[in-house]
Structure 1
Amino acid sequence: MKFDEGCLNIMFAQQKNDQNGQTATLNPRQVYANPTNPAVCPLFALSLYMATFGGRCASNDRLFPGISQYKRFMDGLGAILKEHEAEAKLTLLVNETISDIGSHGIRKGATKWLSGQPGGPSAISICIRGGWSLGGVKDVYMTYNAEGDAFCGRMLSLLPLLSPDFCIKCTKDS
Structure 2
Amino acid sequence: MSWHDDALCIQFTHFRSEQVDERLRCPRRIYCNPKCPEICPILALGIYLLSFTPDPEKLFPGRSQHHRYLNILQSREINRGLTALGLHPKDIGTHSVRLGAATYCSSSSTFGP
Q: TM-score range by the shorter chain?
A: 0.7 to 0.9
Instruction: Tell me if structure 2 keeps the 8 A contact 1:7–1:32.
Output: yes
Match of 1:42 in 2: 41
Instruction: Tell me if structure 2 keeps the 8 A contact 1:12–1:21.
Output: no
Match of 1:66 in 2: 62
SS of alignment partner, residue 34 of structure 1: coil
Instruction: Tell me if structure 2 keeps the 8 A contact 1:14–1:20.
Output: yes
Match of 1:87 in 2: 81
Aligned-residue Cα RMSD (Å) equals 2.8
What runs of 5+ residues in structure 2 fail to find an aligned partner? none
Aligned length: 110
SS of alignment partner, residue 15 of structure 1: coil
The one of the two structures with greater contact order (alpha-carbon pairs below 8 A, sep at least 6) is 1
Q: Larger radius of gyration, structure 1 or 2?
A: 1
What runs of 5+ residues in structure 1 fail to find an aligned partner? 121-151, 160-174
- TM-score, scaled to structure 2: 0.75
* 1:77 aligned onto 2:73: yes
Cα pair distance change 1:17/1:50, threshold 3 Å: same
